[in-house]
A = this chain, B = another copy of it.
Amino acid sequence: MLTKSSSLMRLVGELKKLPGVGERTALRLAFHLLKSPHNLTALAETLCEVRDRVHPCSICFAITEDDPCAICSGNRDGTTICVVENSQDLMALERSNAWHGVYHVLEGAISPLSGIGPASLRITELLNRVETGGISEVVIATNFTVEGEATALYLTKVLKPLNVRVTRLAHGIPLGSDIEFVDAATVQWALQGRNEL
């Protein structure tokens, strides 16, 4: 019999800490892993590898295994920096294949309610990079949420005095959208930002 103290129940407890995983899902995952010891071992090993090898890049703070990361050390345009909230956002921008500059990961967004102020983010490091010189443009790609917009506003305020061009990702109608179902604020932004054809 499996008592609450058994290792399987501890595994269920650990799995339950994952987002979107409850008691039943955790049990299902645990039994699934138990049935395939090969996958279980592989998962345990990759977890340890990730813990030991993955860390933030010392320049841009994107998660990486090398230091500096492949983007910072590669032949990218080092004069333009795209500022993102986290490494997931960086990966989304990389998937678009549309950015050829470097990045700066803030590791969060300003959120006074959660006690996250500018000092908790990698803003000093960003300012240092810009002050060191050679930067022509900073593209702010924080999320279009209250926190992301607040962060963008703050960054604009502190970056402008450094004589650098500060831009923001375009607001507008997403690809494949039916204008009928797009929210009013987005339509308003799209109209204001309309382009000559």
Contacts and interface: CB of A to CB of B under 8 A. Distances in A.
Nearest to A10: B46
A160 interface: no
A156 interface: no
Contact of A50 (B18, B40, B48, B64): B40
B32 A65 contact: no
Q: What is the count of identical protomers in the complex?
A: 2
A63 B2 CA distance: 8
A138 interface: no
A41 B53 CA distance: 13
A62 B64 CA distance: 43
Interface string A10-24: 110111011110000
Contacts of A33: 18, 47, 50
A3 interface: yes
Contact of A47 (B28, B43, B86): B43
Interface stretch (A87-95, A143-151, A165-173, A177-185): A87-95
A18 B1 contact: no
A37 interface: yes
A74 B168 CA distance: 68
Contact of A30 (B31, B39, B44, B50): B50
A128 interface: no
A54 B18 CA distance: 22
A135 interface: no
